[in-house]
Structure 1
Amino acid sequence: MASPSAPKDKFFEKIINPYLAELSIFVADRRLAHAALVERGAALADRPTLASVRIMGENDNTITRASYGPVWRLLRRNLVSETLHPSRVRLFAPARSWVRRVLLDKLRDESSSGGAAVVETFQYAMFCLLVLMCFGELLDEPAVRAIAAAQRDQLLYITGKMAVFAFFPSLTKHLFRDRLRTAHAMRRRQKELLVPLINARREYKSSGGEPRKETTFEHSYVDTLLDIKLPEEGDRPLTDNELVILCSEFLNAGTDTTSTGLQWIMAELVKNPAIQEKLYEEIKATTGDDQEEVSGDDIHKMPYLKAVVLEGLRKHPPGHFVLPHKAAEDMEIGDYLIPKGATVNFMVAEMGRDEREWEKPLEFSPDRFLPGGAGEGVDVTGNREIKMMPFGVGRRICAGLGIAMLHLEYFVASMVREFEWQEVAGEEVDFAEKNEFTVVMKKPLRPRLVPRRS
């Protein structure tokens, strides 16, 4: 969608699925996105139904899938207030510190044998952190990797193989029954791995919160889910199946997006050594040489660090689209009608790279977010205006916006403080993109890491 003066074929597209007669609308204009998601947000706060969910016999009781209503409000409010609230986030500071050590140790090991393939290390480190936050238990590497493999296999399979069930499900469920069997087997594997961890937290809570061992944390996301009752369904607790799916959602939402963001940002710092050096000087001036690590308080004193992260998210948003919205009623946005039931997609990358709003948008220039720059004071929530929206905007904005920014700033600062990131001959940085669950580097980053500190 676009203003009337804009070329309609660029900013407003309608696609009708000939099998389902469903209308899909793609919005690339930031002003119309603001009108739709903020000014008329309640009418676009719903989600289209996923055929794969229904055919798997599951319900929509998750934060990303639930309709805009009481169940969604309950689940989101629980996540935001009980796990992502700043007071709760501070409880996980020891977990972040532990994961920082894991990350840096693995990067050292890999760099000693040549160029480091950092994306797998980023994914593993972020998954360690999210597992700990979810289940309140510091697990060993084989256990973490088993859960990560089950999560990733299931995620890629659902996104890559299950879309076929949107077409005549009564027929395709027979034609593609092998796919259904595989999907059910993957869900069973998830339950085998996650239900014992959920039961361990039940035991922990029933014992009055007495840690079973030194690796047990006092708080976890699962603790809050075990307290939830669904008033619309007779105050029943969440089932084990619902708990597994909610935990899976938590792990997926915070792992791939953050690790993808880290890879793009570090790739830009490798390609732009002057920007990396300027960032390092800010980090060094803030932390000094004797301090063991960058702290959560330190990163709030680093405006250039925040500018680097924001510029990375502007130029390389991990998701080029936010999750689809569904119109709850006929609505007019600008000169366009969005009919009730239409699926509406918002083109995140197009907005962040719009040359009408950003000077030289394909250049990596963190200075644009400093005082006097075009992005000074940019509001990533989009409440005032939308110039970039890597976390979405409006009522369905990503609940983890705050903690995602914290993790990106904390780990970028930690890695730049520890190593100089250099380009390797034959492994030059290539910014070509590839679609997976997120939009990743087609050629993974393999830098040379030169230690800065003994």
Structure 2
Amino acid sequence: MEAWLIILVSLSACFFIKLLFSLLFSSKKNESKGHLFPPGPPPLPIIGHLHLLPKSTIELRSLLSNLSQKYGPVLTLLVGSKPLVFITSYPIAHKALVKNSAIFANRPPVVPVSYVLSNKHKDIGGSPYGLTWRVLRRNLVSAALHPAGLKSYSFARKRSMETMINSFKQQSSKQEGKAGAVRLFEHLHQAAFSLFILMTYGDIGEDAIREVEHIQYTFLVSYAKFSVFANWPRLGKLVYRKRWQKYTEFLRRQYDILMPHIRARQKLKQEKKVGKEVVDLVTYTDTLLDLEISEGAGKLEEADVLSLSSEFINAGADTTATMFQWVMAYLVKYPRVQAKLFAEISQVVKQGAEEVKEEDLQRIPYLKAVILECLRIHPPNTSLVPHTNTEDMEISGYNIPKNTTVLIGTAIIGRDPTVWENPMEFRPERMMTSTSNDNGTGGEEVGDVTSFKMLPFGAGRRMCPGYKYGSLILEYFVANLVWNFEWKAVDDVDLSEKEEFLVVMKNPVRAQVIQRRVK
């Protein structure tokens, strides 16, 4: 025990001495260069503002909101000697992300989410701005998320939707004459993950889908415990030995579950090459197996394909499922909004139709408004993945030196009372604009998310490449749930939040499901 204590004290002493020297010399360096960082609360020696930083991003949002009122929409917090710049204003964030897009497209050397979930292998979200990132993103956009590719997977979206509808119909029939309640989260979560797993590995069967869904979701919600290995890799492994063992066990289990599906796709591609008749759709994994980062460099390693395919499932399914639950929670809580949405769908879809088709969605503007209003109040993350600037730049009158970590407070921007009247009021109508034509008649329409002063998916070169597809899935699923069922609250809908990788409902919504007698 004494030897262990000596080692820990020695490591801590070395760490703090390093921080002290970094603080002294970095301060002199910044002063000599004339850098003027944005303001912030007075830091403590050595630790900076570590004593202020809370454990959860939800608490951090409250802290930044309060600090912004005092210090302005651009402020600095020090983690030891390392400055973190936070932006909580849409115009300033837009200037950084869009007008200075190329300068601002880089990532810090270590992005904890990327480090932990990809096991330091290739991914898109955390890769630095450069050739590898451009090739990986181009492949995602031109293959998996290309309109032609998305159209080929319309059957998968329909199948996931129908499976979900049937599960709710069974619940509805069980509830007739009873005041029972259904927990929506399990059904919505399963629908989203099933869809993205199918797009990633093909039709692998229900049991395999459940297995992949379980390991991916469990890994996500365990991320907070494992993030210490990104921030303090050597010290973390030493201090949290049992946690490190659990992390490596997760990686092993993920490999054992995902890799057979990747190798099955590889085998299928080889059979196609030798002339066997194999009819199958192109999955995201298929595009990765063909990919070369640069000419002559060879294909991606198996571990990189695993990392990228895992990222695709997590980024798509977890975000979609989370937003899906928030949208349904608000529709349950506010029957007026649900009734108005059903009335608008009824004007577009023929009575007796079993499905709201994807081509119908463009004629249901109120549906888009409902989803946008949820994204405004409850973006999936409180802040975007951190950015760094590749050269010195000016933000709102402050000189930000090269390689500074900058975070955009998306949740604060969406709730900015100077931009949004009564920002915590759920009012989808605020997202709609009146239109008119030459005949003097008109209607209402809703723009794209980029038309509004909020950034749930980021902006510029690092904007989420799948946001349009995510919006399509949400609209399609929500429209069909409202078309087929009336959703009634069985108790007070609690809109409290908690952090579970993304910002989710603290108390998942329950509702009574009443099948509509559409003829």
- The equivalent residue for 1:226 is 289
In structure 1, distance between residues paired with 2:171 and 2:388: 45
- The equivalent residue for 1:69 is 130
Shift in CA distance, 250/212, structure 1 to aligned 2, threshold 3 Å: farther
Letter in 2 for 1:89: L
- The equivalent residue for 1:335 is 397
| 466, 471, 493: which one aligns with 1:429 | 493
Instruction: Say whether 1:89 aligns with 2:153.
Output: no
Instruction: Say whether 1:321 aligns with 2:383.
Output: yes
Instruction: Say whether 1:246 aligns with 2:288.
Output: no
Q: 1:230 is paired with a residue of what secondary structure?
A: coil
Offset, 1:243 = 0.8
In structure 1, distance between residues paired with 2:276 and 2:517: 36
- The equivalent residue for 1:305 is 367
- The equivalent residue for 1:79 is 140
| 96, 101, 123: which one aligns with 2:189 | 123
Instruction: Say whether 1:27 aligns with 2:84.
Output: no
Q: 2:222 is paired with a residue of what secondary structure?
A: helix
Shift in CA distance, 170/190, structure 1 to aligned 2, threshold 3 Å: closer
Letter in 2 for 1:414: N
Offset, 1:379 = 4.7
Offset, 1:230 = 2.1
- The equivalent residue for 1:109 is 170
Shift in CA distance, 434/104, structure 1 to aligned 2, threshold 3 Å: same
Instruction: State the number of aligned residues.
Output: 439
Offset, 1:55 = 8.7
Contact 2:414 2:453 in 1 (8 A): yes
Contact 1:2 1:28 in 2 (8 A): no
What is the aligned-residue identity percentage?
38
- The equivalent residue for 1:346 is 408
Alignment of 1:197-236 (within 5 A): 197-208=261-272, 217-231=280-294, 234-236=296-298
Letter in 2 for 1:156: V
Q: 2:272 is paired with a residue of what secondary structure?
A: coil
| 98, 102, 106: which one aligns with 1:38 | 98
In structure 1, distance between residues paired with 2:358 and 2:325: 21
Instruction: Say whether 1:163 aligns with 2:228.
Output: yes
> Once superposed, what is the RMSD of the aligned Cα atoms?
2.5
Bigger Cα Rg: 2
| Structure 1 consecutive aligned stretches of length 4 or more whose deviation exceeds 6 Å | 53-57, 209-213
Q: TM-score, normalised by structure 1?
A: 0.90
In structure 1, distance between residues paired with 2:229 and 2:314: 22
Offset, 1:157 = 2.4
Deviates more, 1:362-371 or 1:204-213: 204-213
Q: 1:61 is paired with a residue of what secondary structure?
A: coil
Contact 1:381 1:397 in 2 (8 A): no
| 406, 422, 438: which one aligns with 2:472 | 406
Offset, 1:337 = 2.4
Offset, 1:396 = 0.6
Q: 2:342 is paired with a residue of what secondary structure?
A: helix
Letter in 2 for 1:275: V
| 346, 356, 363: which one aligns with 2:418 | 356
Q: 2:103 is paired with a residue of what secondary structure?
A: helix
Instruction: Say whether 1:48 aligns with 2:105.
Output: no
Offset, 1:8 = 5.0
Letter in 1 for 2:231: A
Letter in 1 for 2:283: S
In structure 2, distance between residues paired with 1:253 and 1:399: 11
Contact 1:423 1:429 in 2 (8 A): yes
Offset, 1:62 = 0.8
- The equivalent residue for 2:342 is 280
In structure 1, distance between residues paired with 2:252 and 2:463: 30
Q: 1:207 is paired with a residue of what secondary structure?
A: helix
Contact 2:116 2:226 in 1 (8 A): no
In structure 2, distance between residues paired with 1:352 and 1:342: 24
- The equivalent residue for 1:145 is 210
Shift in CA distance, 182/272, structure 1 to aligned 2, threshold 3 Å: same
Return 5+ residue gaps in structure 2 as ranges: 1-36, 40-67, 436-443
